[in-house]
Amino acid sequence: MRHSDNIMKRHREHHPQVSIGLFFILLGVALLIATNDWLHLGGIKEYFTWETALVFIGALLLLNLNFIGGLAMISIGGWFWIDDRYGYIPDLMKTIYWPSVIILAGIIFIISHFFKRKKQV
């Protein structure tokens, strides 16, 4: 039983080169967006803040199939990015943001359970 668990863990993990490749692809896309100001934030300095770093790391975690960690990083970075960008968080956003993140985390747990179970069979 222990041997099959190790095989399943090894099968789900990405090779380091895949992770590094995904990192460079996302970094290139982020630089492309920042240098062309496609989100209309202003200069490059406004694009590369600690909030966007959290979102960037969260996107990398999602691509590496770490869904809960990725969702948490994107949610936290997004929350503070909205607050920093607009100076306040709208009332509707305050009431639905975190409950919807928790609901989404629950859905991810359920969906990932089915994928893990399907691979074990």
Residue ranges of domains in the chain: 2-120
Output the pLDDT for position 12: 55
pLDDT tens-digit profile of 38-85?
877 777 777 788 888 898 889 888 877 788 888 889 999 988 888 887
Mean pLDDT over residues 109-118, rounded? 73
Asked if residue 117 has pLDDT above 80, the reply is no
Residue 121 or residue 69, greater confidence: 69
In 1-121, where does DSSP find H-type helix? 2-12, 16-36, 44-47, 50-63, 67-86, 91-120
Output the pLDDT for position 116: 66
